Structure 1
Amino acid sequence: MTSALRSALSRRRFLTSTGVALLIAPAVSNGYARTITGLPWEPNAGDYPKPVVPGGWVFFTGDEGVAVEAIVDRLIPHDDLSVGGKEAGCAVYIDRQLAGSFGDSSWLYMRPPFAKGTPSQGMQSPVVPAQRFRTSLAALDSYCKQTYSGKGFAALGADQQDDLLKGLEAGKVQLPNVDGKAFFDLVLQSTMEGFFADPLYGGNKDMVSWKMIGFPGARYDYRDHISKHNQPYPNPPVSITGRADWSVRS
């Protein structure tokens, strides 16, 4: 056996024995080992969910909120399957997200250099979502008023709104001083999140999207139905806020 191998084995034995000793030591007192009984946690000991309270804007101004409500209602229009994006609360969801850590990217690494990334890497920019929404909505309002005789986006007809959104998506409509396509992608992604996320976050009112697609929601266990393809889930969906012992806390 070479000296290098003996050294590696000796080091491994030392680390193993040390690790075991560290695990055992806290449980040993006065010459005997304590037996741990019971679970190391208590029900409801963690943070309970705090639902978004609807009503009023937290981030958007009044005009911005009206414009976003009009946008989400064209991205998800009311039809026979579900309510529209506005009624589902998508604009409220976006507003609360922009007012929190998503809006200022406080949970993301935001140091330079910033380079154009691949589509799978997402947005690579020092401009945080809250700033992007604010400047883009202002640019959209300026474009609309210059193009449609002083009318803002919410005042346009449905066909005009659709044409404008399609132009932004295709990169054919150029907003002043902002990337219109990047704004469209951001608002579309945020709208879809608001429509399908748990109602806890302000969107998906009455779990309308979950009922539409047959999603069970935050149910504890639905394994018996996973393999039943093309069969509707028989039970109504459950939100994270569905537990009664959470709703009584202040």
Structure 2
Amino acid sequence: MTQHCPPRLTRRSFLSTMSAALLAGTAGPALARDYPGGTLPWNAYSSEPPTQIVPGGWKFFTPAEAATVEAIVDRLIPEDDLSVGGKDAGCAVYIDRQLTTFYGSSDRLYMQGPFKPGLPTQGYQGEWTNAERYRRGLGAIAKYLNANKSGATFASLSDEDKDAFLKDMEAGKVELPDDVDAKAFFALILGNTMEGFFADPVYGGNKDMASWKMLGFPGARYDYREYVSKHNQPFPLPPVSIAGAMNWKAK
């Protein structure tokens, strides 16, 4: 059951109240230290942060599959004057690496059946793991285009034809072979592309924190006390990844 704040408690007042409570709880030794000019009040990298994903090669996709995914993410998030496109942001790398984890194997999902069509609010209810959905979905796209576009691949289509095909997938107007639901597969890859574009760069996407810089999102900075009361003002510092900033590194 979801708990909601009382109607009179605005989001800003709630966050301000929580910030005050947290600061009050740490007002002793933590506030006495002059960070960032002094010693950090915690041991950098003493926990177990996510493993930094680096580009280079494909861990799940075949070269042909990777070319298709890179072309798709670049049309879902095309380059413009605000940011790089989905390919240069590393969205395909993010998806590739996720599919080698429990996300790809669906280990944390109930996969024993029965498998029956669910309500739109229930999401995917089928028997294929996420890795299988990608393998089958990309294979079905290749077969469909080979049969209906004179042997073309998705990556070889013009941008206009790519967009038209993706729109037809989104609308469920494309009948892909091998029992692949085009609309459901489009929703899957769209969601993963968005995750790769906006997630922390430690997971392989959002290269150089491009989307965070575009939005003005500060990322995983340690201390906001100096700025918490400065409402409606742009945050003046660059974003920081979970991997930390250079001045956090152990000497």
The interval holding the TM-score normalised by the smaller chain is: 0.7 to 0.9
Question: Partners in 1 of 2:180 and 2:161 — Cα distance?
Answer: 21
Inter-partner Cα distance in structure 1 for 2:250 and 2:66: 31
What does residue 156 of structure 2 align with? 155
Partner of 2:202: 200
Deviates more, 1:144-153 or 1:41-50: 41-50
Query: CA 1:43/1:116 → structure 2, altered by over 3 Å: closer, same or farther?
Result: same
Higher helix share: 1
Question: Structure 1 residues 225 and 45, CA, compared in 2 at 3 Å: closer, same or farther?
Answer: closer
Alignment pair present for 1:215 and 2:217: yes
Which letter does structure 2 place at the counterpart of 1:232? P
| Amino acid in the other structure paired with 2:236 | P
Partners of 1:102 and 1:129 within 8 A in 2: yes
Question: Is 2:44–2:249's contact at 8 Å kept on the other side of the alignment?
Answer: no
- How much has 1:225 moved relative to structure 2? 4.5
The residue aligned with 2:106 is 105
Structure 1 CA distance for aligned equivalents of residues 43 and 226 of structure 2: 28
Query: Could you tell me whether the CA contact under 8 Å between 1:49 and 1:246 is conserved in 2?
Result: no
Q: Aligned pair in 2 of structure 1 residues 230, 45: CA closer, same or farther (>3 Å)?
A: closer
Instruction: Write out aligned runs for 1:1-250 (5 A).
Output: 44-176=45-177, 177-222=179-224, 225=227, 230-244=232-246
Gap regions ≥5 residues in structure 1: 1-40
SS at match of 2:176: coil
Code of the residue aligned with 1:118 in structure 2: it is L
Identity %: 60
8 Å Cα contact 2:197/2:205 also seen in 1: yes
Hey, what's the Cα distance between the residues in 2 that align with 1:245 and 1:227?
25
Unaligned runs of 5+ in 2: 1-41
- Would the aligned equivalents of 1:48 and 1:246 in 2 still touch at CA under 8 Å? no
TM-score of the aligned structures, taking structure 2 as reference length: 0.77
Once structures 1 and 2 are overlaid, which stretch shifts more, 234-243 or 160-169?
A: 234-243
Structure 2: distance between partners of 1:225 and 1:76: 32
Pairwise CA distance, 1:243: 4.2
Larger mean CA deviation between 74-83 and 123-132 belongs to 123-132
**Cα deviation, residue 43, structure 1:** 6.3
Count, aligned residues: 209
In the alignment, residue 163 of structure 1 is paired with which amino acid?
Answer: A
**Range with bigger deviation, 133-142 or 224-233:** 224-233
Distance 1:147 1:217, change over 3 A: same
Query: AA paired with 2:162?
Result: Q
Report the structure number with the largest CA radius of gyration: 1
Distance 1:109 1:223 in 2: 42
RMSD: 2.2
Counterpart CA distance in 2 for 1:200 and 1:53 is: 8
d(CA) in 1 for partners of 2:141 and 2:245? Answer: 42
Q: Give 3-state SS (helix, strand or coil) of 1:135's partner.
A: helix
- 1:7 aligns with none
How far 1:181 moved relative to its partner?
0.4
SS in 1 for 2:137: helix
- Counterpart of 1:85 in 2: which secondary structure? coil
